[in-house]
């Protein structure tokens, strides 16, 4: 029996026993496409398209401005926040959907820095997602208070860097390149022991595995709606603020929807005494409605099953790739408990060209500089046979060196 057959048989058995298999039919994935990029953009659910069309044609087209009340447009940020809350282990009333991840980094960071105004140190990782670092640099420059951003490269250095001078710790729970997962409970407890506040970026966590914000006593968290939550390109982001901090923190972008009574049109700002104070301006109804509909699939999903299948998919993929694909080196941690729901490999040739060749043959992953091939495993729609077949196609491309074709070296703006 060949190794390839062994992988296929394992996949077949695992797919037969998959308790999440019924969810795949709710996604519009072309029959021959293997989609391993849900950690970058989740696929469309036809129900989402239908709901957005209804919002356009009926709620906007027919009912017009009445729909702010009649169709619940005005409540969408809170409605969507309540849908996200259980997915990330948060209490009711602690999450609201609003703005973009970048804007929400600014809001939470500025609020946290003002709450620790006697401290001047911000701690993050030098491999953190660039927008988090960019917004931190911009925020400190804007405030002009002499804050220092200290970035570290490993877990030991991180714990040492968080000290009595630290105001805020800003971290992404899952590394966007390698999938490495940080210990939220341990790091949060350490930050609090030193008197610092902590902000967690959940862009590669929400919907990928169980998150426990309340249990870990997290202060602030932010995340996006378009990856594992499948809300569509550029879907609204979300903010989590611990109940005890909601009315203490000063949200710097105090737009009219953050007011306690927006339609009183009071010229003096009075913040809402709830998570609503973290809103800014008028909510984007069409994109919020898409995210709202996309999140309905999560109502009865057991996040423990999500995690179990995620580990199974990633382990099978690693095994198949390492046994059949020459020239690839695992860039992710080997222990699945230390990874999110993605696996990355480096390639000793041109990684960008290899990924383009793979995409051309119907296996969609993505590429990250300097030479990372990244594969995401979204358990709601990825099958075990998908990851085995992806490894087979990858092995064949490497064997035949098709990736060397000049057309695969043409760089697109989005990689």
Catalytic residue among 23, 27, 209, 226: 226
Query: Are 329 and 396 contacting, i.e. CB atoms less than 8 angstroms apart?
Result: no
Catalytic residue among 201, 219, 366, 386: 201
Tokens representing residue 283 in the block: 């909510």
User: Is 374 a catalytic site residue?
Assistant: yes
Residue 62 CB neighbour total at 10 angstroms: 9
User: Is 129 a catalytic site residue?
Assistant: yes
Expressed in angstroms, the distance from the first to the final Cα of the chain is 38
User: Is 226 a catalytic site residue?
Assistant: yes
d(CA 69, CA 162) in angstroms, rounded, equals 47
User: Is 16 a catalytic site residue?
Assistant: no
d(CA 218, CA 187) in angstroms, rounded, equals 10
Tokens representing residue 266 in the block: 């009071």
Query: Are 218 and 277 contacting, i.e. CB atoms less than 8 angstroms apart?
Result: no
- Residue 224: partners with Cβ closer than 8 Å, 6 or more residues away: 100, 101, 203, 206, 235, 237, 238
d(CA 211, CA 90) in angstroms, rounded, equals 9
d(CA 15, CA 143) in angstroms, rounded, equals 53
**Owner of token pair 């209490």:** 91
Catalytic residue among 51, 227, 309, 339: 227
User: Is 384 a catalytic site residue?
Assistant: no
d(CA 200, CA 130) in angstroms, rounded, equals 14
Query: Are 373 and 328 contacting, i.e. CB atoms less than 8 angstroms apart?
Result: yes
| Cα 188–Cα 190–Cα 191 angle in degrees, nearest 5 | 65
d(CA 101, CA 132) in angstroms, rounded, equals 9
d(CA 277, CA 108) in angstroms, rounded, equals 12
- Please choose, from the candidates 128, 134, 227, 121, the residue with its C-alpha nearest in 3D space to the C-alpha of residue 182: 128
Catalytic residue among 107, 277, 307, 374: 374
Catalytic residue among 129, 228, 345, 408: 129
Q: What is the CA radius of gyration of the chain?
A: 22
Report the catalytic residues: 129, 201, 226-227, 374
């Amino acid at each position: 029996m060949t190794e390839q057959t062994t992988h296929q048989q394992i996949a077949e058995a695992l797919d037969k026993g998959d308790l999440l298999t019924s969810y795949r039919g709710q996604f519009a994935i072309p029959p021959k496409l293997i989609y391993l990029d849900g950690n970058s953009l989740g696929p469309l659910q036809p129900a989402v398209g239908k709901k957005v069309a209804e919002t356009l044609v009926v709620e906007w087209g027919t009912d017009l401005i009445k729909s702010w009340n009649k169709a619940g447009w005005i409540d969408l940020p809170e409605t969507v926040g309540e849908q996200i809350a259980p997915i990330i282990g948060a209490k009711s009333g602690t999450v609201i959907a609003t703005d973009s991840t970048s804007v929400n980094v600014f809001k939470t960071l500025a609020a946290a820095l003002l709450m620790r105004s006697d401290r001047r140190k911000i701690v993050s990782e030098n491999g953190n997602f660039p927008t988090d670092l960019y917004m931190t640099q911009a925020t400190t420059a804007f405030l002009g208070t002499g804050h220092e951003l200290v970035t570290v490269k490993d877990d030991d250095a991180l714990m040492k860097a968080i000290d009595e001078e630290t105001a805020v710790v800003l971290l992404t729970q899952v590394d966007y390149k390698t999938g490495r997962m940080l210990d939220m409970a341990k790091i949060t407890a350490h930050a609090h022991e030193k008197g610092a506040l902590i902000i967690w970026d959940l862009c590669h966590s929400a919907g990928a595995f169980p998150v426990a914000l309340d249990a870990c006593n997290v202060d602030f968290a932010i995340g996006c709606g378009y990856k594992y939550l499948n809300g569509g390109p550029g879907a609204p982001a979300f903010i989590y603020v611990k109940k005890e901090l909601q009315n203490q923190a000063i949200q710097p972008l105090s737009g009219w929807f953050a007011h306690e009574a927006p339609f009183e049109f009071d010229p003096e700002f009075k913040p809402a005494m709830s998570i609503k104070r973290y809103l800014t301006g008028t909510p984007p109804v069409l994109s919020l409605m898409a995210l709202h509909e996309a999140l309905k699939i999560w109502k009865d999903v057991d996040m423990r099953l999500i995690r179990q299948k995620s580990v199974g998919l990633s382990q099978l993929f690693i095994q198949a790739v390492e046994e059949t694909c020459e020239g690839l080196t695992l860039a992710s941690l080997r222990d699945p408990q230390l990874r999110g729901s993605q696996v990355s490999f480096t390639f000793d040739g041109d990684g960008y060209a290899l990924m383009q060749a793979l995409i051309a043959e119907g296996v969609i992953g993505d590429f990250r500089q300097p030479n990372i091939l990244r594969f995401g495993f979204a358990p709601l729609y990825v099958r075990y046979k998908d990851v085995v077949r992806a490894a087979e196609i990858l092995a064949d491309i490497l064997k035949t060196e098709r990736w060397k074709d000049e057309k695969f070296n043409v760089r697109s703006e989005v990689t």
